[in-house]
Amino acid sequence: MPKGAEDKAKHTKTGEILQHTDLLSYEEMLKVVRVAAEMGMNKLRLTGGEPLVRRGILGFIHKLSTLKNLQEVRLTTNGVLLSDYAEQLFVEGVRQINVSLDTLQQKKFSQITGRDYFGKVWQGLIKARDLGFRIKINVVAMKGINDDEFIDFARLALDEPFQVRFIEFMPLGEKSSWHKEQFIKADDIKKIISTTGQLTPFNNKRDEGPARMYELKAANGKKGAVGFITPISHHFCDQCNRLRLTSEGRLRSCLLNDRETDLKALLRSGASDGMIRESIRQTILNKPKGHTLDNDLEQNEKPTCFGQMSQIGG
C-alpha cells in the first residue's frame, strides 16, 4: 500500500478502503475464469495485494482446479503467510509461486515494508522449496535502496533452486514512491551481477512471461537462473498475452494503461456467458500497442498510469 495510506501508530490503513460488496465474489470470478478458459486461456495467476489474506482462498483455488480447460494456477505472494499455507497450496495443485522480495537484509526489509517479517518470509521460502514448489523471486531494483544487494541475489540463485528476476522500478499510481534517481536499467544490473559468473541467454518460450532469462554459471561450476523484466528500457509489449482482472471486477489488457472493462457491472446485471465472452474479446482487440512510460520519463512528465499496483495486481 502507498506510504501515505497508513496510520503507523495504529498499524492500520487510512486510504480508501473497498467495501465487501465492491469486490467480486469467488463465484463471479469463477464465471469469468471459466469463460476465459473456454476461449483458450490455460494459465491463471492469483496476485494482489496479498492473495493469502482473503478468507476462503484455498476453497477458491480448489474450485479453480476443477475447471477442465485451466491447466495451471500460480500464485504471487509477499511470502509472509507462505509457511502457513504452503502444504495446503501444494495439495490443491499449485506448483509455482512467485515471492516478492526486494532485500535479503532483515533491517532493510523492515524499512521497505514497515514490518519485521523477513524471518517469516524466509521460513516460507524454505518450506516451499522443500515441498517441491518451483519458486521465482521478484526483486524490484532500486538505486540507492537495494543495488548493493544485486550480487547477493545472484549468489542466491546459485545456491538455491530459486529463479531470481530483477524488475525495473515502474512509476505506477498517483501516490507512487517512484523517483527518477532511483531507476536503474536492467542492462546496468546485468553488468553488476556478471561479476559473479557467465550469463548465457535462455531460449525463452512465449508462455513463460515477460522476463529475459539467463543461465548464470560461476567459476566453481555452480549454475542458477536469473532474469530481467524491462518494462521501461526494453519494451516487451508485442509479446504480452496477459489480461488482469482486478478485485473490483475491472478487466485490464495492459498493466501500464488505465483503460479498463467493467465486468462487474455485466455480471451483476445477469449477463450471459456469451456477453462475458464478447466483452473479454473486445478488451483483447482494444489492447494498446504499447505504453509510453519511457517517453513520459524522458520528458519529465507524470506517469499516465494512475492505478495502484496493490489494486491492479502485479
Q: Which amino acid is at 107?
A: K
Q: How confident is the model at residue 208 (pLDDT cuts 50, 70, 90)?
A: low
DSSP tag of 24: P
pTM for the model stands at 0.86
Predicted confidence band of residue 314 (pLDDT cuts 50, 70, 90): low
Q: In Å, what is the CA distance from 279 to each residue of 22, 39, 44, 206, 285?
A: 20, 12, 19, 25, 10
Is a pLDDT exceeding 70 seen at residue 309? no
Q: What is the CA radius of gyration of the chain?
A: 20
CATH 3.20.20.70 fits 3-312, yes or no: yes
* Other Cβ atoms closer than 10 A to 294: 14
Which residue in 44, 97, 9, 31 sits closest to 243, CA to CA?
44
Q: How far apart are CA 183 and CA 168, in angstroms?
A: 7
Q: Any idea which of 97-101, 110-114, 147-151, 169-173 has the lowest mean pLDDT?
A: 169-173
Indicate if the pLDDT at residue 191 is higher than 60.
Answer: yes
C-alpha 213/C-alpha 88 separation (Å) is: 30
5-20 as b/e, with b when 16 or more CB fall inside 10 Å? Answer: eeeeeeeeeeeeeeee
CA distances from 62 to 30, 48, 58, 94, 189 (A): 11, 19, 6, 10, 39
- 175 neighbors 2 (Cβ within 8 angstroms): yes
158 within 8 A of 280, measured Cβ to Cβ: no
* Amino acid 259: pLDDT: 87
- 57-64 and 26-38 helices cross at what angle (nearest 10)? 20
From CA 139, how far away is CA 88, in angstroms rounded?
26
Boundaries of every domain in the chain: 3-312
- Mean pLDDT score of the chain: 87
Please write the tens of the pLDDT for every residue from 162-180.
999 999 987 655 545 546 7
Read off the pLDDT of residues 246-298 as tens digits, 9 standing for 90 and up.
999 999 998 777 889 999 999 999 999 999 999 999 999 988 876 556 555 55
